[in-house]
Amino acid sequence: MGAALIDTNGDEADIDLDVYRRDADGLWQEISSSVVGEDGSFLSGEMAVILGRTDPGLIVDIEYAGHRSSVIASGTGWWLFVAVAVPGSDALPGLIGVRPATL
């Protein structure tokens, strides 16, 4: 599975979370698309998702299922973390903090 934040018309006001799955031929097929706000976390079937918006280039630290991960905010400030959902758990990914990138 995979996911992407898509600015469908370039105005930064209508942001979609598109979810994809590989088909039997190994090609990515879109299985869902939904409008998202500027932050939030949720479980979506097999995925645990947290997304948000901050200043471009900042590092966003996330914790999910006892593991810490980091993502970098895009040039427009959007960031997205996706993980395989823990079976039988309703735990959501959590935002630990945001920090400047270091060289």
Kindly report, residue by residue over 61-80, the tens digit of the pLDDT.
999 999 999 999 999 899 99
Angle (CA) 93-99-100 rounded to 5° is 140
**Single pTM value for the model:** 0.87
C-alpha 76/C-alpha 12 separation (Å) is: 8
Mean pLDDT for the chain overall = 90
Q: pLDDT-based confidence at 51, cuts 50/70/90?
A: very high
Q: pLDDT-based confidence at 3, cuts 50/70/90?
A: confident
C-alpha 50/C-alpha 68 separation (Å) is: 13
pLDDT of residue 96: 97
| Residue 60 dihedral angles phi and psi, to the nearest 5° | -110, 120
